[in-house]
Amino acid sequence: MGFRTVIIRDKCKLKYKDGYLIVRNDQINMIHLSEINTLMIDSTMVTITTYLISELLNKKIKVIFCDQKRNPIGEIVQYYGAHNSSKRISLQISWDQNIKCILWKNLIKQKIFYQADVLKRCNNDNYKTLMEYYESVKENDSTNREGHAAKVYFNSLFGKDFSREDDNSINAALDYGYSILLSAFNKAIVSKGYLTQLGIFHRNEFNPFNLSCDLMEPFRPIVDYYVYKNKERVFDKEYRLDLINLLNKKVVYNKKSYYLNDCIPRYTNNVLEYLSQGQIRNKNFLYYYEL
């Protein structure tokens, strides 16, 4: 598996030759595909050959495209991420509703736990309120503890006048960071042969990434905490690069240290195994990772 996130920011031509990504502009640079985990094309002035796209897909390398404002707008992933995709999609369609409800409760508890942890790190006493919400989450979050926690959480971080609907650098950074997480989960899900469209809680018919949105919920506070610490920054090119680099952050999952980009596939695989089998070899898959 590749380990590098390659970002193309300037006008150039991308092509494939003998196992290498060739970047051609005023000079020629070469990167072997075996080193690449994700390729982000951060400029609309880039041209790319279909031969290269085909080879990137064969190597299961995620390709993300950005719009004129350099925000992620779309991505390319393989149609079939595993040799037994048909079997896994059949399992996904028949996932037990009770298991999904139990899982969603735990995902929301994890999310609120980390939100409380962020507030505690920021010396905000409202983390105690979030821990009360954490303790009172019911199956399938039937009492919407997630929504109540979110209001307290974001107002505590960014002020009582803050709204996620505002057009500002904070929200731009949050959205960009979430999109990076979403892409990582999309890749992890597709690589196991499942569909990102079929979620356990998210069911929006216009959202092609419902399952990814479900599974990424406990990881959002990683982005939130970074944006809080940089809330005075202007959302510019360097800020975007720093948010992408969060995938190289070290976290502890099941008592082992991983880069976030490596932790996400392991976490995703354990959750998918639970959904499809109702039990897993690794009993600790719902243990909390450590920031």
**Domain-located, residue 107:** yes
**Domain-located, residue 233:** yes
Of 27, 54, 76, which residue constitutes the final position of a domain? 76
Write down the pLDDT at residue 71: 80
Q: What is the 3-state secondary structure (H, E, C) of the chain?
A: CCCEEEEECCCEEEEEECCEEEEECCCEEEEEHHHEEEEEECCCCEEECHHHHHHHHHCCCEEEEECCCCCEEEEECCCCCCCCHHHHHHHHHCCCHHHHHHHHHHHHHHHHHHHHHHHHHCCCCCHHHHHHHHHCCCHHHCCCHHHHHHHHHHHHHHCCCCCCCCCCHHHHHHHHHHHHHHHHHHHHHHHCCCCCCCCCCCCCCCCCCHHHHHHHHHHHHHHHHHHHHCCCCCCCHHHHHHHHHHHHCEEEECCEEEEHHHHHHHHHHHHHHHHHHCCCCCCCCCCCCEC
Residues lower than pLDDT 50 in the chain: 280-284, 286-287
114 shares its domain with 245: yes
**Domain-located, residue 290:** no
Distance of CA 216 to the CA centre of its chain: 5
Q: How far apart are CA 202 and CA 198, in angstroms?
A: 8
**Domain-located, residue 288:** no
206 shares its domain with 131: yes
158 shares its domain with 133: yes
Please name the residue that has the structure tokens 């196991």: 192
Q: State which residues form the domain around 25.
A: 4-76
Contact 101, 141 (CB under 8 A): no
Using CA atoms, how far residue 262 sits from 25, 170, 238, 245, 277, in Å, is 32, 27, 24, 13, 23
How many CA atoms lie less than 13 Å away from 66 in the CB half-sphere?
A: 23
Query: What's the number of domains the chain is made of?
Result: 2
CATH for 26: 3.100.10.20
122 shares its domain with 158: yes
129 shares its domain with 247: yes
Of 53, 76, 99, which residue constitutes the final position of a domain? 76
Contact 264, 201 (CB under 8 A): no
Contact 39, 56 (CB under 8 A): yes
Write down the pLDDT at residue 83: 73
pTM over 0.95: no
Two tokens, residue 59: 């190597």
**Domain-located, residue 285:** no
pLDDT tens figures, 114-154: 999 999 999 999 999 999 999 999 988 889 999 999 999 99
**Burial state string for 178-195 with b = 16 or more CB within 10 A and e = fewer than 16:** bbbbbbbbbbbbbbbbbb
